[in-house]
Structure 1
Amino acid sequence: MDDRDTLAALISAPLQSLDERWRSPERAAELAEARALHDRDPDDYWAWVAGKHRWLTPWRSVRSGELGDFHYFEGGRINVADNCVDRWAESTPDRLAVVWEGEPGDSRTLTYAELADEVNRLAGGLRSLGIGHGDVVAVYMPNLVEAFTAIHACNKIGAIYTVLFSGFGRDAVASRLAAARAKAVVVADAIYRRGKPVELLETLRAALPDAPSVESVVVVDRTQRGVELAPGEVSYAALLAEHPEGAPTVALDPDEPAFLIFTSGTESRPKGVVHSVGGFLLGTWANVHWQAGPVEGDVYWVAADVGWLTFPIQAVIGGLAHGSTIACYEGALDTPGPSRFYDVCAKHGVTQVLCAPTVLRMLRKFGDDLAASHPLPRLALITVQGEPLDGETFTWATETYGVPIVNAYGQTETGSTWTYPVTGVDDLKAGSAGTPVPGHAFAVVDEEGREVPAGVKGNLVMTRPFPTLARTVWDDHERYLSTYFGRFPGRYATNDEAVVDADGHLWVLGRADDVINVAAHRLSTMEIEAVVTTHPRVVEAAVVGIPDATKGTVPIAFVTVTGGSADEVPDEVRALVADTIGGIARPDRVIVTAAMPKTRTGKIMRRLMREVLLHGEARSDTSALEDPGSLDTLSAAVRA
């Protein structure tokens, strides 16, 4: 079977007509209008999006410049907190803004009026600490109400925020604070994760000697144990109580930095990707509008960590920009037991869920009986992003929950997902990321930058600017230009491989650096994984390539399985891959493991798995690892 035959087999899923229960004629008409604007000129579409927001000063022009150096809504002035909090507090003060649940079972709700008051008080408190327009504030906490208030307090006064993943250790925190030149940190004393407190303030204190720019620390007493404050630390609660006067809303240039988010990986220097004030606001509003389709009475649960850009996109900024009610959960989705996901949905009347595909694979592993015993009558949509969605999981989730499963694709750098079937309108296809939503344009090209025909894989690039695309790398614009525009000048390189099928649907095959060369044959590890997961007992799979003296590289598959003895699974998986793709793709080894190393947002950390295979241990950045014990489990499986 040659490469094109392999791709054809993997992307041959038929279009699935959207059930009439979920179709919306009103949204279909609106989308038709938006697509017509895009076809005339994508800038006309973005002008339509801009009209959905409150501007403090009108803008003069939609866009100037091209990829690598572009600007949106020049002359205009806008404020993110004004659009996400204040205008809804004025029009719908009693609507719930945030419905929060902690892992131990404690909960808290805030109306838009209450959220606006707390954001305003915190903004006044930050100003009293000397924080102003352009200063950087780090937010070091998980999914707490205070993550919402801290981010929007920064937005209100024009400070630049950066969210630090709550699983980061001392060195990762110190390096990011230093790189950002953070002036203040808002931190929880501790958080709850898998039934245990994780001490964040203790970690921050250890990191501060290597982050000399930090002048103030605002401490949220999450655990209510009582925090003995050190010099330079102030109580979050006291700061709110002392500043009822709040702070004025700062009118901001839509192109200036709103926040920076640090990517993690094998690089020694953290890379701070910078997103803009107006671009991120407008783009994330559009993202939530088409992907989730919120309406009055919905409760949207973004089952992701605030340290993953998805949470600001879908919840803190894009969700609140719609005046939506956002459900927020602090802890692990399987704690204290496997029913926690269902319990949260039922308790808060969740209508839409966004999660990583890994969450659906986890629920599938927990079994059909658990799902059947926890019906979710209010659930109307599940949407996933962050990693490829395999067809088996798509089918299981569709049949189990009886709702549309919308698969979306985007990146930290793109600032939003930009290709997916529009909720309530577009038909679905198992495994695909649909078609681009208005305002975005792409191509799939070969190594020389020439567009390839349908059915042929290549490099995925963006061909036009759009507002949520990152504007620079913090303190290193040359790195931004070389990383994203050096390979294909004039186009943004996603560094992902993809293929467009005969229906125009986009299939993202994974990172270009996840393509392995086996005896001169280029194979995507995602393609092999897609076949492995069709085995009836395989719930989750990860494939990596390792050097081989004869073939150059060979694939190794890691799998988690259901049922009892897994003795026969490795041989069955190897035969399945050989029969489906060909002998060249047959895994050299199939390793059954009870756990895989993942980020808290559910992404499998394949680079760590490769390092364990090659060196017996992980050697690169493990700061984003959700469960350090998973590496021990993996290592034991490798040695078995």
Structure 2
Amino acid sequence: MVIDLASEETLKLIAESVKVPPSDSYRSTSYLQSEEAYLAKYQASIEDPESFWREIADELTWQHREQAVVEGSLPDFRFFPGSFINVSENCVDRHATNPASRNKVALFFEGENGERKAVTYLQLQREVSKFANVLKSLGLQKGDVVSVYMQNLIETYVVLLACLRIGVIYNTVFAGFSAEALRERIVSSNAKAVICANGSYRRGKVLRLKEIVDEALDCENQVENVVVYNRVQGLETPMMEGRDHDYDAIISQALANCPPEPLDANDPGLLIFTSGTSGKPKGIVHAGGGFLIGTYAYTKYQLDLRPEDVYWNTADIGWLTSHIFVLVGGLALGTTTILYEGAIDFPHQGRLYEVMERYSVNKVFSAPTAYRMMLKYGLDLAQKYDLSNLSLLVSVGEPLNPEAWQWMRKALGRGDVVINNTWGQTETGGTPLASIPGATVMKAGSCGVPFFGHQVDIVGSDGESVPDGTPGYLIIRNPFPSLARDIFGDHDRYLRSYFAQVPGAYFTGDSAVRDSDGQFWVLGRVDDVINVSGHRISTMEMESSLINHRAVVEAAVVGQPDEVKGVVPVAFITLEKSFAPSDELAAELKQQIVNDIGSFARPERVHFVEAMPKTRSGKIIRRMLREIIQNGEVRGDVTGLEDSDILDKLVLDVTGQGNAV
């Protein structure tokens, strides 16, 4: 049964998309170097997934390993049942004990305020062991939960790796969430401790994180200890006697030897809450060992990551992408990674390029909003910096429009950089769809091909597979190691949310199309569809149409209730710097959607805004846009904003009607 989630024009563009092969120079350094190699390995992994995952497991260090690879099926499954592995040992110790890598830089840190630090794998092992002993001294044991309220710091990585070392389950909370949001996560997870920084630098301001923690803990909770890292020296920081501990003081007293605990590969390792934009946030539970096995595989093959690389994933540690591709996947592969605290375009627009040049970064992973920001700032700025080492640009989180794709390749990558636009979810613990950079062709806007061992399919409302070129629901038919194992404290919700829609399969909640070359195109969330006068329209499809216009850097479309049509689409536009808002431009943009999709999709209004409300991970918070057009203000939580200063101006732009046409 066909799902009406894409226009004929969109399907035509997908069918006519141009294939761009990776350069010969890139292929020569890749783990896989041809389409045939990918197809052969993928087919083998589907016919015999156990052999593929056993191959990955052979590259890791185990404390005890049984022969069994997979036990059970969706939704109740285990990988390497009865086997014991430690994530911290694989990310730190096996490099720290290797003479060839022990003195290699594991993490470079750069603060928005200009501070720079570095830590080698050997130094990292020492600090992780010491903090693991700190956790033990506070009475924390395997299975206990701690909430971590910190930004991108080396110390944050020390804390998380120490938790993984002794089996303490960590829950990172975005350092910018309100006290209410933090409280909900602390209480919901039954956290016994909170680890936080006293403050954080953001766009030249200092965020007082410890004060937010204190406010969050002004309730009934199970927290017995709070450890505070003094990131901002001289900042007056309230400390409660008996409960609060200074990070530097307590770690200085700890022994630097803490052997990694043997942990069952299926024991819970980390807990991360979804954003909660609709309904109560879900605490997604990932198995520690399964997460390691899956993320190691994703990072190796989708990023071609090697020990000699200098790699920068700009994601905030509050976003699971950092855990997948840096904390676990990146360190397990022994690479050198950049950690950056603050906004990547502050204190000047070339900050991102400056960092890339300083460390000779050759692989970058970011959100499409960051790449569109670079496009907005122009080619002249990019050309002021030496970006000649760049070989791979990876994207996840929002649709990557073709214009930004072309600009990234030509302006940043001299025409031969590989661009990998991926798809993944918090629940998948990785990116089941992506290019295999040296092997598969690229297509602007495509999310690539299924990863090894993943039976990705597109089905109709009856659960049956649909033909290529037909939109439908994106599902995965088989278990894989990094797939979420539960929703914390609510197993029934886990089953209802992901496995009730298509029995025997994981339901992603996204709609997609597979083209005739086997590439997947994700159209958007099934619930990101508005019904205008009986026509169901994907807001992502409308946004893609707008972004293709030469004047548009970013676009967001939301639905507004209407007495006649039920719902009408309203567009928000950020313009390229050489264009100015005008009635003529608004009419042109409305007509572009009419041309691409149909007259029924014409936006009721177009709002020209200077900036979109975004999370630090770069996702546009469309909920805030809906609240502004419906209520004239944002009534929900706003502390997760990447830049809170834009909100008043955004409300004025919209409600003042000065830039609405």
User: Is 1:190 paired with 2:199?
Assistant: yes
Work out whether residues 201 and 342 of structure 2, in 8 Å CA contact, stay in contact via their aligned partners in 1.
Answer: yes
The yes-or-no answer on 1:168 pairing with 2:184 is: no
Correspondence for 1:454: 468
Other-structure match for 2:327 = 316
The CA distance in 1 between the partners of 2:336 and 2:30, in whole Å, is 22
Give the structure 2 partner of residue 123 of structure 1: 132
Q: Match of 1:637, SS?
A: helix
Instruction: Name the structure 2 match of 1:74.
Output: 81
State the partner residue of 1:6: 9
Residue 142 to residue 51, structure 1, CA distance change in 2 (3 Å): same
Measure how far apart 1:554 and its partner are. 1.8
* Residue range with higher mean Cα deviation, 7-16 or 605-614: 7-16
2:233 alignment partner in structure 1: 224
One-letter code of the match for 1:428? M
Query: For 1:87, which of 66, 91, 94 is the aligned residue?
Result: 94
Provide the residue aligned with 1:209 in structure 2: 218
Q: Which of the numbers 123, 145, 153 marks the counterpart of 1:144?
A: 153
Deviations 1:82-127 (A, max 9, x none): 1000111001211110001011010110000000000000001110
The corresponding residue for 1:600 is 616
Matches within 5 A, 1:457-496: 457-496=471-510
408-417 vs 370-379, which deviates more? 370-379
The partner residue of 2:597 within 570, 581, 587 is 581
What secondary structure is seen at the aligned counterpart in 2 of 1:295? coil
TM-fit CA distance, 1:553: 2.1
Deviation by residue 1:412-447 (Cα, 9 ceiling, x = unmatched): 000001111112221100000011110111211122
- Find the residue that maps to 1:626 and give its secondary structure: coil
Q: Classify the secondary structure of the residue corresponding to 1:414.
A: coil
CA distance in 2 between partners of 1:473 and 1:3 (Å)? 32
Asked whether the equivalents of residues 6 and 541 of structure 2 are also in contact (C-alpha less than 8 Å), the reply is: no
Matches within 5 A, 1:166-565: 166-210=175-219, 212-225=221-234, 227=237, 229-231=239-241, 232-402=243-413, 403-562=417-576, 563-565=578-580
Q: What amino acid does structure 1 have at the position aligned with 2:198?
A: D
Return 5+ residue gaps in structure 2 as ranges. Answer: none
Distance 1:421 1:23 in 2: 13
Aligned pairs, number: 640
CA–CA separation in structure 2 for the residues paired with 1:468 and 1:429: 27
**SS of equivalent residue, structure 1 residue 389:** coil
Q: Which AA in structure 2 matches 1:230? A: M
Post-superposition offset of 1:617: 2.0
Normalising by the residue count of structure 2, what TM-score does the alignment of the two structures yield?
A: 0.94
Tell me the secondary structure at the aligned position of residue 612 of structure 2.
Answer: coil
- 1:582 alignment partner AA: G
How far did residue 627 of structure 1 move?
A: 2.2
Structure 1 CA distance for aligned equivalents of residues 212 and 561 of structure 2 = 38
Evaluate the alpha carbon distance shift between residue 420 and residue 350 of structure 1 in structure 2; reply closer, same or farther with a 3 A threshold: same
Question: Runs in 1 of length 4+ with deviation above 3 angstroms?
Answer: 1-4, 29-34, 226-229, 619-623
Contact 1:533/1:540 (<8 A) preserved: yes
Contact 2:185 2:273 in 1 (8 A): yes
Whether 1:591 and 2:600 are equivalent positions in the alignment is: no
1:209 is paired with a residue of what secondary structure? coil
Question: Once the two structures are superposed, what CA deviation does each residue of 1:180-225 show, in whole Å capped at 9, x if it has no partner?
Answer: 1111111101010001110001110111122521111111111122
Letter in 2 for 1:254: A
Residues 174 and 208 of structure 1 are in contact (CA less than 8 Å); yes or no, is this contact kept in structure 2?
yes
Alignment check: 8 A CA contact 1:175 1:211 kept: no
Is 2:63 the partner of 1:56? yes
**Structure 1 position 18 matched with structure 2 position 22:** yes
Q: What is the Cα deviation at residue 247 of structure 1?
A: 2.5
**Is the 2:474–2:510 contact (alpha carbons within 8 Å) kept by the matching residues of 1?**
yes
- Asked whether the 8 Å contact 1:266–1:621 carries over to 2, the reply is no
| Bigger RCO (CA 8 Å, 6+ sep) | 2
Q: Which moved more, 1:14-23 or 1:101-110?
A: 14-23
Q: Deviations over 1:276-305 (max 9, x none)?
A: 011100100011111211223211101110
Distance 1:2 1:36, change over 3 A: closer
CA contact (8 A) 2:179 2:212 kept: yes
Q: Which amino acid aligns with 2:47?
A: R
Describe the shift of the 1:253–1:616 C-alpha distance in structure 2 as closer, same or farther (beyond 3 A). same
Q: 1:537 to 1:198 in 2, by over 3 A?
A: same
Tell me how far 1:267 sits from its aligned partner.
Answer: 4.0
Q: Please, what is the CA RMSD of the aligned residues?
A: 1.7
Deviation at 1:163, TM superposition (A): 0.2
Contact map agreement 1:264 1:624 (CA 8 A) in 2: no
- 2: CA distance between counterparts of 1:431 and 1:13? 9
Identity, in percent, stands at 43
TM-score, with length taken from structure 1 = 0.97
